[in-house]
Structure 1
Amino acid sequence: MVRPHVVVVISTSAVVLSLLSQLVACSGDDPVVSAGPDGGDDTRGGPDTTGGGGDASSPDATGDTPDSTAPAGGVIDPTFSGTKDVRAYYYRAPVTDRNRRVYLLGEHPHCIPTGLTDVVLARLDAQGAVDPTFGTNSRVCLNTYADAPTGDFFEVPGAMAIDASDHLYVAGSSLDNRTPSTGTRVFLARLSLDGQLDTSFGAGKGFVRFADVAEGHASSIVIVGQGIWLAGRAKNGGGMLIALDLNGALVKTFNTNVGLVVDPNVDSFSSVAVKEGNPYVTITGGAKAGDFFVRKYLPTGTVDSAFGNGGTATVAVSPGFDEARSVSVTSDGHVVVAGAGQAPSAGQPGRLAVVRLDSKGAVDPAFPTFLSGAVQWPTSADARAFLQSDGKLVAPAVVPSGRDLAVVRIGTDGKLDPTYGKAGTVASGSPKDDVTVAIGVDTSGGTIAIADDGDTVEEQFPQQKVTLKRPVVYRISP
């Protein structure tokens, strides 16, 4: 069986300049109605997490001294170019296709000359070079206002995924500033892997905007079978979960002819995972703040009252402020949640924390809660962990000493995996502060990691001069 690679993205300067001058194109999407999302694991595009046990004040959660032998996994691929000339304000979790090409999603000002802030995509080939055949000038500028190409728009990327038919889906939010304005709407676009909008999706536009969720934003996407699930935040706060078919139509069997649920008592749903038609979401903010909160919904859109306490499982991972950022469901029905533990407050750096729940939402005694003192959970809004097919969890992290980019793997026993990197942790070793932005799963079994080492470049646009970040991308062996 081929094992997946993990990809990491980081930011760099000199080499990035020579490549980034090659990026730009345009795209969008809209909905249709059909069957509901099927069950199954969230193996394409969604966050997956498995946690560990014990407090680790050293990189080895067991307290043992790591041996000097070469690790079985967690090696940064030296053949994958680590410096990329890709420019944006920030980046979301990358995805890879079956040919191991890496897709990067970010926010870029004036990518479309008449726009404000736009969604931009770039593609790296299997060796890590910017792909000049993707879009126009190696870049795709996503336009979710195809009906008004000269309008005044503000678009924000949230997440992306690739389905089994090699369609690339991008979700987020877009604001129409025209008069009269239609306001901010959740959008979902479908593209071919060459960066062109798929006009068979969204009534010929290639994208859909959902008037059903005013002021909403989708920050997490999972594709399972014939279903698409979006999770995020509704207007003025409110956890948002949307069920769609592969044509982008609301699945009206979810929540009684509505196709979505909004919980006004919480700030947002930070991630979603799906098992056998049951979506699980992590909750942040609002009435649910300070601990790990996971809610389970039934395929009908109602809360599963048999899970946790009335449908929501609550875990105090530490005595301080805890915030769940990523959820996954294992093949045997365990729910793995990862995020920040013992942080000063919401959105602040905290210790990497992972917990595993049983199918009823109770903490699994066979998996001690993992709370590391050696690595921190990144503050990036799109920092997520991914569950491997063998049940091990790969998570983004930051090593406090030097603030190095890091990727951590936690075994099914709830401890740092000693066969991965150095005592369970892979660090870039860069002399710069290269903070982890996001990671993604490589289809060959490894990890792709994105890091920001502070490298920037200025670009002059008709409206203004802007400063953009240039990340570094790593491929790490399984």
Structure 2
Amino acid sequence: MPRIPVRLASTLLLTGVLAACSQTPAPTTEDTLPPGSPYAGGASYPWSDRLEAPVADPYAAGRDYPWSSPQAASTLATQGLSAGVNQLSDLPWTSASNFWGPISRDKSNGEQGEFDGHTLTIGGQTFAKGLGVHADSTVKYALNAQCSAFTASVGIDDEVGTLGRATFQVLGDGKVLYTSPELTGADTAKAVSVNVSGVRELTLNVLKGANTYYDHSDWADAKVTCQALKPSGTVYVSDLAYTSATNGWGPVEIDRSNGEQGQFDGKPITVEDQVYAKGLGVHANSAITYDLGGQCTAFESVVGVDDEVEARGSVVFQVFGDGRKLYESSVLQGGVRNYYPVARANVTGVRELKLVVTDFGDGKNFDHADWADAKLACSTPGASGTFDPTFGVAGHANVGGVDSVVEPDTSVVLLGADFTVKRVSSAGIVSAAGAAVVPGGTAMALARQANGNLVAVGQANSAVVVVRYLPSLQPDPSFGTGGVVVVQYGQAVPDALFGPTAAVSSGRDVAVQADGGVVIVGTASRAFTSSPGVRILTPQFLVARLSVTGTVDTTFGNGGSVVSGGEDYLSPQYRNDGAVNDMLSAVALQPDGRIVAVGSSEYISQYTPFVFRFQTNGQLDPSFCGDGICGVFTQAGYGDLLRALLIEPDGSIVVGGATERFQTLAVIARLTSSGAQAGGAIFQIADYFYEQGSIYSLARQGDGKIVFGAVTRNDRGLGRLNADFTLDTTFGDLGTGYVRVQTGITSVNIDPLNRIVASGATDTVRVLP
């Protein structure tokens, strides 16, 4: 359209100048179009961008719709809050239409071309940034609920003099949020400020007046202010404002698939026929960043190619924390069963989370990718299952061991695998340490006496080793020899055919009685005749007791110990074979002093679980399951491998371990004081059904909830059950009942303030109850 000069002092002067400078005679009013007017005869130059109808191949002819989001201010931004102020002229719109030529960025509407406008000027005031449009026009932007305010100065550009009239309108998700009065070329710039909190799609309309003549309209200094607030609690990522986003085709979609070009044109997120209500629909190549502020612990999402592209598309999902890759999927393809792959990442301490989808290097066509059901677990101060910020670094002491005990002052003593001991203060700092006292020994378990002494058990040179430490963590010279007792409970076999076999025994767990007696459970070798003339050694159940001074207590069991095999209690086929491997893994004392021990017999990878109860003299208690021995069966044909034991205040017994072949399911069961089974749970801790996951430790809170420590390939090492054995989804990360830690948890304790203290090989954590 021919250029009209800037407004002058009077209409007469303006008319004269127009006649002199313009090739097209100017009208004296909007309603009078002289010959040669660009609007004469109903002429127009309509223009649109990204409003094509969906086609079978949207990528044909090299079409491309890359998109980037507004930037949100956050603690990650080096330039402060200004990082969250985004000029709309610097952002890609998702769609736009204009009555006369293309919309101009940082220029007035101009003629028909894209760059033929002038400096934006309204009522003599110039603006460096903004959009130059012509009524009727519409521009849409994807904000995805991450911005709080839209501001602009609006009016008719001075290039049309006093001519033109239009109304400016701001919409959020289709709802009108602002409408200006009708403005003309004679008006000064009008300030606009609109609250766009929660708005996903921003629409800017300019509506014509009586006609469209000379309606050169400016959204001057049009900008959105966006703020990324750090997440708190368990949140869906799609409900969280990102700091930035780029996408290979159209805007990132919230709780929808990627769709086509515009906001909201996706479908329900669907991966492998499973529909998800929450998530992000993206298109390779994409990258979305979030400010976690270092207060989250876990990220989890189902990932895959959306079913809407059928058997097309191939992508790779990546999760980065502060620039470090935390997760990468295999190549995932559309129409291929990937069995709902789950992206999981430990994001403890991470400030910036970045979710990336790549095209696998084979081009981005049809790469519609979903972060389905994507969630974050973040700290809410004082929430159940969050790390205690007063302990160590964000709840982590960063020192571990094979077992631990909590002391009355809430400090923690850790037992190293080499029989070293360390005390971690209530603040999570190592405050004392004792040297290794058993060269070549392997420690397994730790218990605390009422007087503050500590007793550890394990093995060295194929014999049981027990060490007692003073509260100073030095060996107790009144116990054994320099604090150390070594006892061989196993038998040797002088077999003429295969040669002699040395005796073997090992301590696996320990309990301290009220009088200072030390009860040990584990395994000891026993000679067995497997066939005529052939004697072999097999591991057998071991229960033994030492006196308060460390001598063998000969009044206990059969001269100080009880060694018996699972084949003694199983069917003749096992008894005749003799290849049963037995192990007692845990021991605990009931309120009346009776001794409970749990373990399993293994025969060709099939496990039979046993719960023993002994009287204080080491004899089996006939009031327990009739003969002192109970079995706990939960999976027909396989049984359970028991590793953990808990005695409840009423004398009930809770056992834990793993079940199913190769121990792929965790198991927890309760027996009454008499041995009757009284409930339990079988659940999968591992990511996939073929991965192992087992309970290693149990503790009971004052409200009856049961906390368990587990060892598995993922980070779900600490969890909590309600009293009825259902997972307590109010606890821990992502509403799952688990707290993610980067070490398998082998020891769980409840401290005097009801806080949960859990330790594994590399870390000790304290978690709020």
Q: Displacement, 1:141? A: 2.8
Q: Displacement, 1:126? A: 5.9
Deviations 1:142-189 (A, max 9, x none): 3xxxxxxxxxxxxx721011011211111113xxxxxxxxxxx42100
Choose between structure 1 and 2 for higher RCO, CA contacts under 8 A separated by at least 6 residues. Answer: 1
Distance 2:382 2:487 in 1: 41
TM-score by length of 2: 0.37
Counterpart of 1:426 in structure 2 is 681
Distance 1:138 1:403 in 2: 30
Secondary structure of 2:438's partner? strand
Secondary structure of 1:366's partner? coil
When residues 305 and 125 of structure 1 are mapped into structure 2, their CA distance, relative to the original with a 3 A threshold, is farther
Superposition pairs of residues 21-32 of structure 1, within 5 angstroms:
none
Match of 2:522 among 283, 286, 293: 283
Match of 1:415 among 662, 668, 676: 676
Distance 1:354 1:333 in 2: 16
Match of 2:696 among 418, 424, 438: 438
CA contact (8 A) 2:300 2:345 kept: no
Counterpart of 2:621 in structure 1 is 364
Which residue type is aligned with residue 192 of structure 1?
A: S
Which residue type is aligned with residue 446 of structure 1?
A: K
Counterpart of 2:476 in structure 1 is 251
Q: Displacement, 1:224? A: 2.1
When residues 209 and 410 of structure 1 are mapped into structure 2, their CA distance, relative to the original with a 3 A threshold, is same
Counterpart of 1:128 in structure 2 is 385
When residues 364 and 189 of structure 1 are mapped into structure 2, their CA distance, relative to the original with a 3 A threshold, is same
Tell whether 2:379 aligns with 1:140: no
Counterpart of 1:344 in structure 2 is 603
Counterpart of 2:721 in structure 1 is 476
Superposition pairs of residues 452-471 of structure 1, within 5 angstroms:
454-455=713-714, 470-471=715-716
Counterpart of 1:262 in structure 2 is 486
When residues 164 and 278 of structure 1 are mapped into structure 2, their CA distance, relative to the original with a 3 A threshold, is same
Secondary structure of 1:269's partner? strand
Tell whether 2:645 aligns with 1:385: yes
When residues 86 and 388 of structure 1 are mapped into structure 2, their CA distance, relative to the original with a 3 A threshold, is farther
TM-score by length of 1: 0.58
Distance 1:166 1:389 in 2: 21
Distance 1:429 1:268 in 2: 30
Tell whether 2:403 aligns with 1:159: yes
CA contact (8 A) 1:266 1:286 kept: yes
Distance 1:250 1:19 in 2: 47
Distance 1:313 1:134 in 2: 42
Tell whether 2:558 aligns with 1:272: no
CA contact (8 A) 2:388 2:394 kept: no
Counterpart of 2:434 in structure 1 is 208
Distance 2:548 2:458 in 1: 20
Larger deviation: 435-444 or 397-406?
A: 397-406
Superposition pairs of residues 62-141 of structure 1, within 5 angstroms:
85=346, 127-136=384-393, 138-141=395-398
Q: Displacement, 1:219? A: 1.5
Distance 2:430 2:440 in 1: 24
Tell whether 2:554 aligns with 1:330: no
CA contact (8 A) 2:462 2:504 kept: yes
When residues 321 and 429 of structure 1 are mapped into structure 2, their CA distance, relative to the original with a 3 A threshold, is closer
Distance 2:609 2:406 in 1: 28
Distance 1:188 1:291 in 2: 29
CA contact (8 A) 1:231 1:269 kept: no
Q: CA RMSD in A?
A: 3.3
Secondary structure of 2:707's partner? strand
Distance 2:301 2:471 in 1: 39
Secondary structure of 2:644's partner? coil
CA contact (8 A) 1:374 1:399 kept: yes
Counterpart of 2:424 in structure 1 is 191
Distance 1:194 1:84 in 2: 27
When residues 247 and 366 of structure 1 are mapped into structure 2, their CA distance, relative to the original with a 3 A threshold, is same
Q: Displacement, 1:400? A: 1.9
When residues 194 and 309 of structure 1 are mapped into structure 2, their CA distance, relative to the original with a 3 A threshold, is same
CA contact (8 A) 2:634 2:640 kept: no
Counterpart of 1:171 in structure 2 is 415
When residues 326 and 136 of structure 1 are mapped into structure 2, their CA distance, relative to the original with a 3 A threshold, is same
Distance 1:192 1:410 in 2: 36
Which residue type is aligned with residue 326 of structure 1?
A: A
Q: Displacement, 1:129? A: 2.5
Distance 1:266 1:450 in 2: 29
Deviations 1:253-310 (A, max 9, x none): 222x522201245332100011121010013244585332100111121111111111
CA contact (8 A) 1:384 1:395 kept: yes
Q: Displacement, 1:354? A: 0.3
Distance 2:422 2:433 in 1: 4
Distance 1:126 1:435 in 2: 27
When residues 452 and 326 of structure 1 are mapped into structure 2, their CA distance, relative to the original with a 3 A threshold, is closer
Q: Displacement, 1:235? A: 3.4
Q: Displacement, 1:132? A: 4.7
Match of 1:228 among 450, 453, 471: 453
Distance 1:299 1:84 in 2: 48
Secondary structure of 2:402's partner? strand
Q: Displacement, 1:392? A: 1.2
Distance 2:345 2:615 in 1: 42
Percent sequence identity over matched residues? 20
CA contact (8 A) 2:507 2:521 kept: yes
Which residue type is aligned with residue 314 of structure 1?
A: V
CA contact (8 A) 1:231 1:270 kept: no
Higher gyration radius (CA): 2
Secondary structure of 1:157's partner? coil
Distance 1:267 1:86 in 2: 42
Which residue type is aligned with residue 259 of structure 1?
A: G
CA contact (8 A) 1:435 1:452 kept: yes
Secondary structure of 1:291's partner? strand
Deviations 1:382-414 (A, max 9, x none): x32122222111111324289322211111111
Secondary structure of 2:709's partner? strand
Counterpart of 2:237 in structure 1 is none
Distance 1:157 1:290 in 2: 26
